[in-house]
Structure 1
Amino acid sequence: MGSPIQDKNGQVSFLKERLNMFLDVLDAIDPGDTDIEDIDRLIEMIDDLESKCREFKHRGM
């Protein structure tokens, strides 16, 4: 793993990148072929993003 992102701009950039990745995955999903594992993965991605937001907030973002 890399070193923690301490500066506010770096944290915001990281969160934007992760959110864009989530949106790309969401756009690529075919509703007709989506199964429970796909939904679980989307929920996991959201949980990870939320966890990062909390982590950055505790660092003084």
Structure 2
Amino acid sequence: MGSPINDSNTQVVFLKHRLTAFMDLLDAINPEEADLEDIDRMIAIVEEMDAKCREFKNRDS
């Protein structure tokens, strides 16, 4: 695991990259072929981004 990201600009860049990767995943998934595992993976990614936002917010406090 990498070192903690404490700089606000770096935090925003990190989150933008994660969001872009998530959007790419959404674009790549065929809705008619998506299964429960795909949905679970997408939920996990959103939960990870939420946790990272909370972590960054707490570091700034």
Q: What TM-score range do you get, normalising by the shorter chain? A: over 0.9
**Alignment coverage as a number of residue pairs:** 61
Q: 2:47 — aligned with what?
A: 47
Give the superposed CA RMSD: 1.0
Q: TM-score, normalised by structure 1?
A: 0.97
Percent identity over the alignment is: 57
Q: Which letter does structure 2 place at the counterpart of 1:60? A: D
Q: Where has structure 1 moved over 2 Å in runs of 4 or more?
A: none
2:6 counterpart of 1:6 = yes
Q: Which runs of 5+ in 2 are unaligned?
A: none
Shift of 1:5: 0.5
Shift of 1:20: 0.3
Q: Which runs of 5+ in 1 are unaligned?
A: none
Q: 2:26 — aligned with what?
A: 26
Q: TM-score, normalised by structure 2?
A: 0.97
